[in-house]
Amino acid sequence: MSADTPRRIVLLRHAKADWPQVSDHERPLAERGRKDAPVAGRRLAETGIPFGLALCSTATRTRETWKLAVQELSDRPRTVYEERLYEASAGEIIALLNETPEDVRDLLVIGHNPGMHAVAEALSGGAEGDTRTRMNRGGFPTAAFAVVSFTAPWKSLEIGVGTLTDYWTPNA
């Protein structure tokens, strides 16, 4: 792929988690999360984005979200469970995205807030628009996702290089 290949990153926040007496990393999905995750998967399928790779946090709630969502996709991407996504800042997530192999055009990231929202904001720069306004007004609730498009090599991905092209929440 050339340096000017159009690329997309989909940032998916895990579905609603429960609060049992376990460590935060081991929190499972709540009943609502188990209902919302497949809905998010269907909406991801409707985007028609052919994911070349999925990066998923190692936390229980993200792995369960992905397990339910991926069943709705016609083509299952290769999945890498990435412990660095757990509790990652926007800068840490962008540094991780910089490591994406150049042959990947469309990447799905299943992670946590505030990181998912912060990365969507940071990558899409300061440009305003209806999609960005909806995202900022609604926050980034569980099972929501944002799509950021950009044209550059992964290693050049940085703040402000992308455009927020889609934002979806299960209650929209």
DSSP of 11-71, one letter per residue? EEEPPPBP--SS-GGG--B-HHHHHHHHHHHHHHHHHT---SEEEEESSHHHHHHHHHHHT
Residue 87 has a pLDDT of: 95
* 38 touches 72 (CB < 8 A): yes
* 145 touches 165 (CB < 8 A): no
pLDDT digits (tens, 9 = 90+) for 25-54: 999 999 999 999 999 999 999 999 999 999
Domain boundary assignment for the chain? 6-168
* 68 touches 171 (CB < 8 A): no
Report CA-CA distances (Å) from 103 to 35, 53, 99, 143, 147.
Answer: 33, 10, 12, 27, 19
Which residue, 60, 98, 52, is CA-closest to 79? 52
Q: Residue 131 — pLDDT band, cuts 50, 70, 90? A: confident
Q: Residue 130 — pLDDT band, cuts 50, 70, 90? A: confident
Tokens of 56: 């998923």
Residue 133 has a pLDDT of: 80
CATH topology of domain 6-168: Rossmann fold (3.40.50)
Q: What is the pTM of this model?
A: 0.95
